[in-house]
Amino acid sequence: MPEDGATALADRQTDPATLARVSASAHFAAAGFVETGGVGPDGKSEVYLPDRDLRVRLHPRQLTLLRLYDGTRDTEAVLTAFAATSGGRMKPDALGTFEDKMRSLGFLVHAGQGAEQKVDPFAGIEYGLARRRPPKVIFNLDDTDRSLGPLLAFLRRPAGLGVLACLGLLVAWGWVLSFQQQTAVWGQFPRLLNTVWWVFLFYPVWFTVMTLHEFGHALACMAKGVPMREVGIGRRRMLFVGWAKPDQAIWSALGYGDKVFTVIAGPLVNLSFFGLGAVLWNVIQHPTMADIVLSAALLPLFTMVPTLIPTNKGDAYLLVSEAIGQPGYYTRATRHVWSLRKRLREGGRAELFTPLGGFGVLVLLTRLAMLSVVALGVIHGLRLLWRFFMG
């Protein structure tokens, strides 16, 4: 797109074929972009498209034009509204060029259709590992008002608040007990890690806790008035991944404190699962059942670790990126590092020692470390299963 934006586009000659194409085009709608408020020295404004994790800078006239696409205006109506709003005129072929550019970037979609996504469609508040490919969907709730709305309504009533208060007291008691009996609880972990129980419990507990984790995000967003687009769990090879996708434009408009509330609601589920498990472990007298309960209680804490690492695209990263006003920093950093491979061979090492390059390197090292832990866990689990079944 030319640097002087819509003004330059308007200077082009009208091509009959383009005019016919534009006149016959369907209505378009802006695809939920967010105006970040950043304005550069050249007067261009930064806009962010959450679905593609994409930032671009637009000339004021381009931004004015983009705002006019509400899904109800056809080409003639957009041209008329643009003339009335900006005081300038635009030719139909220039508008067609603008539409083509915005559609290729994902900022415009056909009215009534969702954004056409070229990145992982389960981007959002994510939890899990290995996001390079979309997962195989296990379940996906795309009507959360009907599925989770009644639960939220109950939790807002006195009876629901009473249930939450009782659960909160039990969780707090469990954590107090775990610290009072640190040796008895935390000291059990090395021994339990060498029993087969954690192998049998790992996937059922992980799936259950991840589901509740994502529901926690969703309920917190809905409590703050943010509609949910979908909530679900998928699988990539041997790993689960969860997603809770709020309406990104509305979520991005929340205050930082409200964003923190929606993000930490997920990890609070993991912490609560452990607290309740610790209470149950203190009640059970049978040694084997106690081992099973304690293993199930400890697993949510360790499966929560990836989402608490700022260099992994999870809950901690989301809070940090929002705090520094860089919601697309993860993607830009990794792309930056991968793009340096050729230049590094040509001596461009200095570009690694920038904040963007440094963060990208840490992201890649984090991925390597987590995949190494997963591989070691699989090997250890297979060894325990072999010993269990073969004696």
151 with 285, same domain?
yes
103 with 177, same domain?
no
Report if residue 118 sits inside a domain. Answer: no
Last residue of a domain, one of 310, 326, 342: 326
68 with 168, same domain?
no
Looking at mean pLDDT, say which of 113-127, 211-225, 230-244, 313-327 comes out highest.
211-225
173 with 249, same domain?
yes
pLDDT digits (tens, 9 = 90+) for 174-217: 999 888 877 677 777 788 888 888 888 889 999 999 999 999 99
Binned at pLDDT 50, 70 and 90, residue 17 comes out as very low
Binned at pLDDT 50, 70 and 90, residue 90 comes out as confident
What pLDDT does residue 103 have? 77
Last residue of a domain, one of 110, 136, 162: 110
Report if residue 119 sits inside a domain. Answer: no
381 with 321, same domain?
no
Flag the least confident range among 23-27, 170-174, 214-218. 23-27
Report if residue 116 sits inside a domain. Answer: no
- What is the pTM for the complete model shown? 0.67
**CATH assignment at residue 12:** 3.90.930
Q: Is the pLDDT of residue 312 over 70?
A: yes
199 with 336, same domain?
no
Q: Which domain holds residue 94?
A: 5-110
Q: Is the pLDDT of residue 323 over 90?
A: no
More confident residue, 275 or 187: 275
Last residue of a domain, one of 292, 310, 326: 326
What pLDDT does residue 111 have? 61
3-state secondary structure the chain: CCCCHHHHHHCCCCCHHHHHHHHCCCCEEECCCEEEEEECCCCCEEEEEHHHCEEEEECHHHHHHHHCCECCCCHHHHHHHHHHHHCCCCCHHHHHHHHHHHHHHCCEEECCCCCCCCCCCCCCEEEECCCCCCCEEEEEECCHHHHCHHHHHHHHCHHHHHHHHHHHHHHHHHHHHHHHCHHHHHHHHHHHHCCCHHHHHHHHHHHHHHHHHHHHHHHHHHHCCCCEEEEEEEEECCEEEEEEEECHHHHHCCCHHHHHHHHHHHHHHHHHHHHHHHHHHHHCCCHHHHHHHHHHHHHHHHHCHHHHCCCCCCHHHHHHHHHCCCCCHHHHHHHHHHHHHHHHHCCCHHHHHCHHHHHHHHHHHHHHHHHHHHHHHHHHHHHHHHHHHHC
